[in-house]
Amino acid sequence: MVLTAEKEVIKNRLSSNALKVLEKRYLRKDENGKIIETPDEMFRRVAKAIAKADILYDPNADIRKTEEEFYRIMSNLEFLPNSPTLMNAGTELGQLSACFVLPVEDSIDSIFDAVKATALIHKSGGGTGFSFSKIRPKNDAVRSTGGIASGPVSFMKVFDVATEVIKQGGRRRGANMGILRVDHPDIIEFITAKEESTAFNNFNISVALTDKFMEALEKEEDYELINPRTKQIVKKLPAKDVFDLIVSMAWKNGEPGIIFIDRINEFNPTPHIGEIESTNPCGEQPLLPYESCNLGSINLSKMVKDGEIDYEKLIRTVRIAVHFLDNVIDVNKYPLPQIESITKANRKIGLGVMGFADMLIKLGIPYDSEEAINIAEKVMKIIKEEARKASSELAEKRGCFPNFKGSIYDVQGGIKLRNASLTTIAPTGSISIIAGCSSGIEPLFAICYTRNVLEGEKLIEINPLFEEIARKEGFYSEELMKEIAEKGSLKEIDGIPENIKRIFVTAHDISPEWHVRMQAAFQKYTDNAVSKTVNFPNNAKIDDVRRVYMLAYKLGCKGVTVYRDASREEQVLETKRTEMERKFQKAKKQTPDKAYGVRLRKKTGCGNIYTKVFSNECNEPIEIFITLGKAGGCAAAFTEGLARACSLALKYGASLKELVDELMGISCHKQEGIGQNRVLSCIDAVAKSIQEMFDQKTDQRITDKKFNGLGACPICGSQVIYIEGCLRCISCNFSQCE
């Protein structure tokens, strides 16, 4: 394909990693998978499709002019909408929103209606959030059948499996947020739901903390658990014990995150329409049931000129972006009529930022400084004020959002607005790669790192601003870059001026308190919420996480996600050092002098085999013994060898389920039994024995605070991904982000 000069210019603005991401997920392909679109044509396709909404309000509108404005800010990488808009605008699919929240009521019909809606949304490219707080708790009565309820966590598994088998529009993997109120009777089971790394991999989870709970925590008092079906108090728990469990689990693998649900509803713009119960998968977009929201982010690194912030350009970009996002609501193709109805009634948009760390570097300001906090507040205040002005002007031309009467703006007698909410700070996982800037408001993860994306593909990235300065200042060398690639941070590297090191601080150079302060600075002028991961080094303590959670509440954040480096088997961003830490972080557990065992006998083709699983005082499986009848010789050696291998795996952090998954189904010529009771081999018998013991202890696993298959919390015995996102994520919770 022959490119015009303009197309060549746009292509040259994009990094090699940006081009890879675009080719993999965004550019249109024919039925054979061949790319039939250039990046320039993608921006043109999106601009043209979104500009058409102007005709709905003014038949004489100059949509060509609008199209050029939209095209310019995207092709200059000054603003990008969320991924579904880039992928689907101007296509037959036409689903443009990233964020959805679906209601889950306490009935089978509602639950499986939500599962079906989730499948449709994921197929179209969106992510979904749910509150499971209305589902009756485990062992509660089910009058229609005379049976007992299985509880919200069991139903989460249905959503998780459905997500696993659906690829979002063929290009985005399904993402969910699961939320449970802290006063739900099944809260302990929920907090520990992702204790094993294989559980709920398509979910970020967060606990909705109430003001009442936080007051009880501060006073070290008990708080009430309430059955959502009967509205009756069923139990009381010490707030400190529950909070400690949340903290220890988050320390371990980053989840659950927390949201302050009463604070979120304090800023609910349409309380007369309903109560907010959940957020989108990365936590930055609280929404009413069936609401959707389309997001977009301004690239702040493009708002710096000659070492100063170009406020005129920023204001101009904000106004065009608000126009763009409002138009998206009208041209969008919604997956459900209920979603279209409430989305158009409230017209929420989420304008945010990316490239904030790059902006600070261009200004010569360290991320962890009072000056950076002041810049964050000033920039976000301007974005919020100008977004409201733009929305007010649209309201004059197009009318207020239909649910304006009775909204907080109406009650307070403020300005008339086109949109119920305007600003959101999203993680910008993929679109920041396209824009070639730092993600959201996060600091640099590393000066050089490996980004794990796109179904296992790895992208190596070196910060272009650092390379530019290194060459300009004369200290660039291939050897230096290799050393930085190994360590990620500049902190321990010689030969780099201290003032450069101070500006190029990374996420792990910055104390967790500065992470929270920066999140709070942006939250101060953000309508919705802020996606931000508070990074911890691998050697962080549980108390460090506790302090961050309390600081986030004190400073007015609407939620917080943490991630301790290398605490998961996989993470989105990593350096060589964190990769090694992650692989070798699990210390070998010591065999205690006293252990507690369970034995199970099973008949095999070689005779009876006895499998014994022993646990330490924290109820962690720690050792396995296997005996094959009265056998000796090779048979005895074989079973002893298998037992030692299994025990060693447990001591290095493997779970009983992982052992079962590896051993189950191995067969030999001496089989025993029929049907479900058939034993294929001695190894299969061991797996089946462990499985039976595992199943019998399911209730204990979940409710006994001393049980922890991946390591015991020194405080309460239980333990803790965003990711981002997403992060998840974290926050991660992740996620993906995108």
Span 75-98, average pLDDT: 95
By the 10 Å C-beta count (0-12 exposed, 13-18 middle, 19+ buried), 446 is classed as: buried
Domain final residue pick, 76, 92, 111: 76
Evaluate the CA torsion angle 311, 314, 319, 320 in order and state its sign. positive
Q: How far apart are CA 103 and CA 289, in angstroms?
A: 5
Report the share of the chain in percent with pLDDT over 70.
84
The reported pLDDT for the residue numbered 68 is 98
pLDDT for the residue numbered 708: 27
Q: What does the pLDDT read at residue 726?
A: 35
Instruction: Say whether pLDDT at 702 is over 50.
Output: no
Q: What per-residue confidence (pLDDT) applies to 683?
A: 87
For residue 89, is pLDDT > 80?
A: yes
- Residue 599 pairs in a beta bridge with 612
Q: Is a pLDDT exceeding 90 seen at residue 368?
A: yes
pLDDT higher than threshold 60 for residue 291 = yes
**pLDDT for the residue 461:** 66
Torsions phi, psi of 610, nearest 5?
A: -110, 120
* Pairing mode of beta strands 533-536, 559-564: parallel
User: What are the DSSP calls for 529-567, one per residue?
Assistant: -B--EEEE-TT--HHHHHHHHHHHHHTT-SEEEEEETT-
pLDDT for residue 346 is more than 80: yes
Active-site annotation holds for 280: yes
Which has the minimum average pLDDT: 137-151, 427-441, 701-715?
701-715
Name the nearest CA neighbour of 687 among 626, 606, 623, 607: 626
* Strand 596-604 versus strand 147-148 pairing type: unpaired
Report the distance separating Cα 459 and Cα 670, nearest Å.
Answer: 49
The yes-or-no verdict on residue 737 having pLDDT over 70 is: no
How far apart are the two ends of the chain, measured CA to CA in Å? 30
Whether 296 contacts 351, CB under 8 Å: yes
Q: Which residue has the higher pLDDT, 536 or 692?
A: 536
In three-state secondary structure terms, 645 is helix
pLDDT-derived band at 685, boundaries 50, 70, 90: confident
- Domain span at residue 13 reads 5-76
The answer to whether position 713 is within a domain reads: no
DSSP 677: G
pLDDT (average), residues 244-263: 93
Q: What is the pLDDT of residue 734?
A: 29
Alpha helices by DSSP H, listed for 652-681, are 656-663
- Provide the total of helices (H) and of strands (E) in the chain, helices listed first: 27, 26
Mean pLDDT for the stretch of residues 270-296: 96
The one catalytic residue in 88, 195, 268, 282 is: 282
Query: What's the pLDDT score for residue 564?
Result: 87
Q: Give me the long-range contacts of 606-610 (CB less than 8 A, separation at least 24).
A: 606/631, 606/635, 606/670, 606/682, 607/631, 609/639, 609/682, 609/685, 609/686, 609/689
pLDDT of residue 219: 97
CA 655 and chain centroid, separation: 24
Q: Residue 478: which H helix or E strand, with range?
A: helix 478-487
Distance in angstroms (rounded) separating the CA atoms of residues 565 and 585: 10
What pLDDT score does 537 carry? 85
DSSP run (H or E) holding 99:
strand 99-102
| Marked catalytic residue, from 67, 78, 189, 284 | 284
DSSP 86: H
- Domain assignment of residue 628, yes or no: yes
Residue 183: both structure tokens together: 């006063």
Quick check: 70 and 50 in contact, CB under 8 A?
yes
Report d(CA 393, CA 388) in Å as an integer: 9
CA distance linking residue 323 with residue 331, whole number of Å: 13
Nearest to 620, CA basis, from 716, 715, 709: 709
- Of 443, 478, 503, the one marking the end of a domain is 503
Residues 561, 283 contacting (CB under 8 angstroms): yes
Closest CA to 604 of 687, 722, 537: 687
Amino acid symbol at 434: I
Tokens coding 642? 């298998």
Show the CA angle centred on residue 461, arms to residues 37 and 535, nearest 5°.
Answer: 115
Backbone φ, ψ for residue 16 (5° rounding): -65, -35
* Residue bearing the bigger pLDDT, 460 or 498: 498
| More confident of the two residues 717 and 535 | 535
619 within domain boundaries: yes
Question: Within a domain: residue 602?
Answer: yes
**pLDDT tens string 26-80:** 999 999 999 999 999 999 999 999 999 999 999 999 999 999 999 999 999 999 9
Between CA 486 and CA 449 the distance in angstroms is: 9
Output the pLDDT for position 723: 31
DSSP state of 498: H
Residue 293 bears catalytic tag = no
3-state secondary structure of 631: coil
Q: Among 236-250, 466-480, 554-568, which range has the highest average pLDDT?
A: 236-250
Sequence-distant (6+) residues with CB within 8 A of 481 are 448, 462, 467
Query: pLDDT for 497-534, tens place per residue?
Result: 999 999 999 988 999 999 999 999 999 999 999 999 99
CA distance 314 to 736: 28
Maximum C-alpha span of the chain: 93
Structure tokens at 589: 């557990």
Residues in the chain: 738
pLDDT mean over 280-293: 95
DSSP readout, 425-453? B---TTHHHHHTS--TTPPBS-SEEEEEE
What is the Cα–Cα distance from 235 to 256, expressed in whole angstroms? Answer: 22
Q: Which of 503, 522, 548 is the last residue of a domain?
A: 503
Quickly list H helices, 238-336: 239-253, 261-266, 311-331
Residue whose structure tokens are 């001695």: 682
Q: Which residues pair with 610 in a beta bridge?
A: 601, 627
Of the ranges 168-182, 548-562, 605-619, the best mean pLDDT one: 548-562
Residue 577: the pLDDT is 52
Catalytic residue list contains 284: yes
Of residues 162 and 452, which shows the higher confidence score? 162
Active-site residue identified among 280, 294, 327, 619 = 280
For the beta sheet containing 596-604, the strands, ordered from the edge strand earlier in sequence to the opposite edge, are 596-604, 607-615, 621-628
Predicted confidence band at 568 (pLDDT cuts at 50, 70, 90)? low
pLDDT in tens, 584-635: 445 556 667 666 677 788 888 788 888 888 877 666 777 888 888 755 667 7
Average pLDDT, the chain: 85
Position 623 in a domain: yes
Residue 712, CB half-sphere, CA atoms under 13 Å: how many?
Answer: 19
Q: Are 63 and 55 in contact (CB under 8 A)?
A: yes
Residues 84-88: what's their mean pLDDT?
Answer: 95
Q: What is the mean pLDDT of residues 185-207?
A: 89
Token pair for 724 = 């981002």
pLDDT the model gives residue 628? 82
- Helix/strand/coil for 464: helix
> Is residue 719 very low, low, confident or very high in pLDDT (cuts 50, 70, 90)?
very low
Structure tokens at 301: 């690194």
- For residue 409, the model assigns a pLDDT of 95
> Could you tell me the two tokens for 390?
């733009």
Structural tokens at position 325: 């996002």
Rg (CA), the chain: 27
The residues, any chain, with a CB within 8 Å of residue 109's CB and separated by 6 or more, are none
Of the two residues 657 and 436, the one the predictor is more confident about is 436
- CA quadruple 498, 503, 508, 511: dihedral sign: positive
Q: What is the mean pLDDT of residues 222-247?
A: 95
Q: What is the pLDDT of residue 605?
A: 77
Query: Would you state the pLDDT for residue 727?
Result: 33
The structural domain count of the chain equals 3
Residue 612 lies in a domain: yes
Residue pair 735/725 in contact by the 8 Å Cβ criterion = yes
Q: Are 724 and 731 in contact (CB under 8 A)?
A: yes
Q: What is the pLDDT of residue 718?
A: 30
β-pair type (141-142, 349-354): unpaired
- Tell whether the model's pLDDT for residue 271 goes beyond 90: yes
Per-residue confidence (pLDDT) for residue 432, from 0 to 100: 93
Q: Quote the percentage of the chain above a pLDDT of 90.
A: 59
CB atoms under 10 Å from CB of 197, counted, come to 15
Residue 622: inside a domain: yes
pLDDT at res. 85: 96
Q: Give the E-state strand segments of 300-427 in sequence order.
A: 304-305, 308-309, 349-354
E strands, 126-175, where?
Answer: 127-131, 141-142, 147-148, 167-168, 172-173
Residue 700 pLDDT greater than 50, yes or no: no
pLDDT at 476 over 60: yes
pLDDT tens digit string along 105-142? 999 999 999 999 999 998 888 899 999 999 999 999 88
Q: Structure pTM?
A: 0.78
